[in-house]
């Protein structure tokens, strides 16, 4: 799974990791009223890497947690979802609006492979100082460059270069302004 190869979600080891993540999310999401430093300690327990000052407002949902890396001062607003079957990296200073969804989980295009229960993942990389508007969806395999802006409600299906603004469904990069 972590190498991006086909796997079955029903695998006992994968199920055990998923159950552990669910137990952690129950604790984390119950900590909404706790001070930020206490939530930061909980984040460090559940995620692969959590930079200084990084914060996620509960509720938050993920598949495993250990594949998520947050840089310094990353902020995710309420109700974000990260399907992290492979790596998700979010660079320092990035701000993510409410209800943003980041997907690494993907499924074979071949119906026989889907019927067989196979899945795979493609990593997502989000650079430094990115702003992702509320309700945006980032699809598997996408890279977003430093200083980019993703408009609210956009569905990002392909890479977004550094400094670009992308909006719409599917998201398109706007022409730079002079």
Which tokens in the block code for residue 177? 């302004």
pLDDT digits over 19-69, tens only? Answer: 999 999 999 999 999 999 999 999 999 999 999 999 999 999 999 999 999
- For residue 43, the model assigns a pLDDT of 97
Q: Across residues 101-116, what is the average pLDDT?
A: 95
pLDDT digits over 110-169, tens only? Answer: 999 999 999 999 999 999 999 999 999 999 999 999 999 999 999 999 999 999 999 999
Quick one: CA torsion of 54, 28, 156, 67, rounded to 10 degrees? 80
Can 107 be counted among the known catalytic residues? yes
Q: How far apart are CA 150 and CA 6, in angstroms?
A: 30
Which tokens in the block code for residue 7? 């796997």
Q: Is the pLDDT score of 178 beyond 60?
A: no
- For residue 116, the model assigns a pLDDT of 93
CB of 98 closer than 8 Å to CB of 117: no
Strands 118-121 and 137-138: unpaired
pLDDT digits over 73-83, tens only? Answer: 999 999 999 99
Report the length, in residues, of the chain: 178
Catalytic residue among 18, 40, 61, 107: 107
Query: Cα dist. 96→57, 111, 129, 136 in Å?
Result: 11, 34, 10, 9
Tokens 């938050």, residue located = 60
């Amino acid at each position: 799974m972590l190498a991006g190869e086909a796997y079955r979600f029903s695998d006992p080891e994968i199920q055990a990791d998923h159950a552990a993540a669910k137990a952690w999310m129950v604790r984390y999401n119950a900590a909404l009223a706790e001070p930020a430093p206490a939530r930061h300690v909980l984040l460090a327990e559940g995620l692969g890497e959590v930079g200084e000052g990084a914060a996620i407002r509960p509720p938050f949902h993920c598949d495993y947690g250990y594949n998520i890396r947050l840089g310094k001062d990353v902020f995710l607003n309420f109700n974000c979802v990260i399907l992290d079957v492979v790596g998700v990296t979010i660079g320092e200073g990035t701000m993510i609006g409410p209800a943003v969804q980041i997907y690494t989980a993907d499924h074979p295009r071949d119906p026989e492979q889907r019927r067989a229960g196979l899945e795979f993942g493609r990593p997502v990389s989000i650079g430094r100082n990115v702003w992702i508007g509320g309700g945006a969806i980032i699809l598997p395999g996408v890279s977003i460059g430093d200083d980019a802006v993703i408009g609210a409600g956009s569905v990002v299906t392909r890479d977004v270069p550094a400094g670009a603004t992308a909006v719409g469904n599917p998201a398109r990069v706007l022409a730079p302004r002079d």
